[in-house]
A and B are shown apart, each in its own frame.
Chain A
Amino acid sequence: MIHISKRKELPLGQALAIRLGAIVLALVVCGAITTLFTGLNPISVYGAMINGAFGSQRKIWILLQETAILLCVSLALTPAFRMKFWNLGGEGQILIGGLASAACMILFGNTLPNGVVILLEIVCAIAAGAIWAFIPAFFKARWNTNETLFTLMMNYVATQIVAYFIIVWEVPKGSGQIGIINQSTEVGWLPQIGTYKYLLNIVLVALLTVLMYTYLNYSKHGYEISVVGESANTARYAGIKVDRVIMRTLLLSGAICGFAGLLLVGGTNHTITTTISGGRGFTAVMVAWLAKFNPAVMTASSLLLVFMGRGAGEISTTYGLNQSFGDILTGIILFFIIGVEFFITYRVRFEKKEKEATND
């Protein structure tokens, strides 16, 4: 018989060793699958992945930029998740924030000075994202509606609104795309630090990470969020106004998603499409969970996911394999990383033989 029991807290070193073992095991399985299905040498496939992520100065910048944006969205979801409010509306909140920035760039690009346009963009993007998250939070706080479904539905609404405005602003007529906004004047583009295209985004998100860590761990708000997450009744008993905490926290969550939309539209892409968030609203859920909602650890988990994505792209370029193959490898590695948490939390015993069959 298999007997499963909860473990006492593992020493950090041991837990880390178990996790490392899982990654090694995952790489071995991936290697076996690669050789079986493609006949390629797995070591050179891993080499190509690393090359795709770190192979040149530009590639490292792109890697850091992608990590920054994903991290930004993960940071946005974290306060809500800590409160056990499942905000699956990151996608929509990013889109609506991005749309607000694009609108400022298009509508005021020819009339207002650059600095004012940028200021408007920042305010509008953050406000739009905040409102988009506040709506489901309000309904949750007042009528206890299901936030998972509500935030998901808000994604579709945002996508359709963006699709509508793309047709209003499309160039040329009928093409269904806007193209780079203000390409000749660069009005409303967030400034570039020196010659580094992506440095500003990276610095801003690094700053945000520190702020979020402090907010969650050292502020009264952060404490209230944790208490509401543990038990809403306890929070009420302790005199915390749960409704207010829910709405306040979701305003923050949405605002940061809107900020991510600003970085995507005003900072890098300078256009808006219905797919500009690229699923980050959902990928960020995984980033946040992998890091157990710890902002510092999230830098690592978002880097890991972006690295896998960039590596997958490189495999398809170098070996002519379909990108889906890289995604399969990513899936296997994530399976191991998430699966190992079970063995860290629980002890598995085969009772009869009294033999331990865990961990390695």
Chain B
Amino acid sequence: MKSITESNLTRRNFVAAGMSSAAALALAACGSNSAAEGGNDAAAGDAGDAGDIKVGLICLHDENSTYDLNFLNAFKEACSSLGIAEENYMIKTNIPEGQECYDAAAELADAGCKVIFADSFGHEDFMIQAAKEFPEVQFCHATGTKAHTENLENYHNAFASIYEGRFLAGVAAGLKLQELKDAGKLKADTPKMGYVGAFTYAEVISGYTSFFLGAKSIVPDVTMDVTFTGSWYDETAEKEGATNLINKGADLISQHADSMGAPTACENAGIPNVSYNGSTVDACPNTFIVSSRINWAPYYEYAITATKDGTAIDADWTGTLATSSVELTEVNENAAAAGTADKIAEVKAQLESGEVHVFDTASFTVDGKALDSYMADVDTDAAYEPDTEAIIDGYFHESEFRSAPYFDLRIDGINLLDEQY
């Protein structure tokens, strides 16, 4: 017994001794690092006035996930346009949705970051935990739902009106279906789409419904099958899901999940695909039509500038077409119907002017009836209690009462193949 305690003790001493030499080494490492990048720093410093603030980003995966890549690119873009030097922005990748996220946030705060971003839905509670502990640091969480009910001055949510982007992508899908119909190339008499979703979560429901309504505005007799994978990133399940939808007679596929599974299945089967998170034209030159995505750079610039100036950041910030937060990639003329780009521009102008609303109650029915009232679950609670009237002035007000989507209606014309997730 005695010998064990002794060996434990010596080990601890060993660790302690290691620490001091470690610190010395680390200092040496940092020194050489900043010296090497000093030149960049000076050059970048002139470009903006936020140069001396330190910022951090926490990502669920790394650049191999289309979802995280979209955040990483936007973060670097925002930092470079604000003149923040490379050693003043820190990125932590592959941070799971657990205590690791709190630890990462706390480490970034220790390192002097004044504003810290996280990119994954499951990071939210751990960001809140960190926000309570570091009141002088701003914590900004993308896609979360709790900022408006937590009432913390330094905790914020952000999202974008991506349903408008999905609607425009749906318009492109509708035009393609119309072209197939005119050429007699539909698999059945009426056009049918397929959609691979991750979870039966409002964010996904809002996404596929706005996509469907966009297509329906061009081809009113369209229907859609939706399948769920139960994961935000599962290449095999997404590929199988898309193949299954194609076998069930889908003329066109879109998806809300983060791997290349569905686009690849479409390219292999020669079925047109409307993508998400960014262009997949390189891998799918014959079937990629267009992709909608959220551009996070405007939000990053807004939040960093506000932190620097000491002004308040909105508890919920919703990017729009007008703030360039919602974007469509270039249309692939190889696969898209003629005139797609022009039509998208036309509808986009109508959305921006308020002439067209995505969730106009005149454009959809639930169980055969048009709606004039719907209580949405805006304040997150374990009982899923509906709390806010969302249909006002003839349309569903998405992303207005909080930034993250809360449209979760099951509308007619969309057939859910499985709902277990």
A-side residues, CB < 8 A to B, are 41, 43-44, 46-48, 50-51, 53-56, 58-60, 62, 163, 167, 169, 171-177, 179-180, 183, 206, 209-210, 213-214, 268-271, 273, 275-276, 278, 296, 299-300, 303, 313, 316-318, 320, 322-323
Contacts and interface: CB of A to CB of B under 8 A. Distances in A.
B90 A183 contact: no
Contacts of B205: 174
A313 B33 contact: no
Contacts, number: 140
Contact of B33 (A44, A60, A171, A175): A44
Contacts of B200: 173-174
23 contacts: A44-B28, A47-B26, A48-B26, A51-B22, A51-B23, A54-B23, A173-B384, A174-B408, A175-B121, A175-B199, A175-B201, A176-B201, A176-B230, A180-B126, A183-B125, A183-B129, A210-B5, A268-B99, A273-B122, A296-B4, A316-B94, A317-B91, A317-B93
B342 interface: no
Contacts of B311: none
B122 A177 contact: yes
A22 B265 CA distance: 48
A172 B107 contact: no
Nearest to B124: A179
B29 A47 contact: yes
B11 A176 contact: no
Interface stretch (B180-188, B270-278, B324-332, B374-382): B374-382
B97 interface: yes
Nearest to A275: B96
A62 B103 contact: yes
Contacts of B29: 43-44, 47-48, 51, 318
Given A213-B4, A322-B63, A172 B11 contact: no
B68 to A, nearest CB: 12
Nearest to B129: A180
Interface of chain A, main secondary structure:
helix
B94 A206 contact: no
Contact of A55 (B26, B28, B32): B26
Given A47-B28, A58-B107, A176 B421 contact: yes
A169 B98 CA distance: 16
Interface of chain B, main secondary structure:
helix
Given A47-B29, A175-B201, 17 more contacts: A43-B28, A50-B26, A54-B23, A172-B201, A173-B200, A173-B377, A174-B200, A174-B421, A176-B231, A180-B125, A213-B4, A268-B98, A313-B94, A316-B92, A316-B93, A316-B94, A323-B62
A56 B110 contact: yes
Q: Top 6 nearest A-B pairs by Cβ distance?
A: A47-B29, A51-B26, A174-B201, A180-B125, A174-B200, A50-B22
B218 interface: no
Nearest to B98: A269
Given A58-B106, A173-B377, A176-B230, A47 B25 contact: yes
A209 B22 CA distance: 27
B91 A273 contact: no
A185 B7 CA distance: 41
B23 A172 contact: no
B353 interface: no
A316 B57 CA distance: 13
A62 B99 CA distance: 10
Given A47-B26, A323-B93, A210 B106 contact: no
A317 B92 contact: yes
Interface of B: 1, 4-5, 7-8, 11, 15, 18-19, 22-23, 25-26, 28-30, 32-33, 62-63, 90-94, 96-99, 103, 106-107, 110, 121-122, 124-126, 128-129, 145, 198-202, 204-205, 230-231, 377, 380-382, 384, 408, 420-421
A271 B98 contact: yes
Contacts of B125: 179-180, 183, 271
Given A59-B107, A296-B7, A313-B92, A173 B98 contact: no
Contacts of A300: 11
A174 B63 CA distance: 26
A47 B380 CA distance: 44
Contact of B11 (A56, A268, A299): A299
Contacts of A59: 107
Contacts of B18: 54
A185 to B, nearest CB: 13
A174 B33 contact: no
Given A41-B32, A175-B201, A317-B92, A46 B25 contact: yes
Contacts of B106: 58
Contacts of A209: 8
A273 B408 CA distance: 24
A166 to B, nearest CB: 10
A278 B201 contact: no
Contacts of B5: 210
Contacts of B96: 273, 275, 278
Nearest to B32: A44
Contacts of A206: 8
A147 to B, nearest CB: 29
Contacts of A317: 90-93
Contacts of A273: 96-98, 122
Contacts of B15: 303
A316 B94 CA distance: 10
Contacts of A276: 98
A323 B381 contact: no
B23 A323 contact: no
A169 B107 CA distance: 30
A317 to B, nearest CB: 6
A51 B1 contact: no
Contacts of A55: 22-23, 26
- For A41, A60, A175, A323, the residue with the greatest tally of chain B CB atoms inside 10 Å of its CB is A175
Contacts of A47: 25-26, 28-30
Nearest to B145: A172
A60 B126 CA distance: 20
A167 to B, nearest CB: 7
Contact of A174 (B122, B202, B382): B202
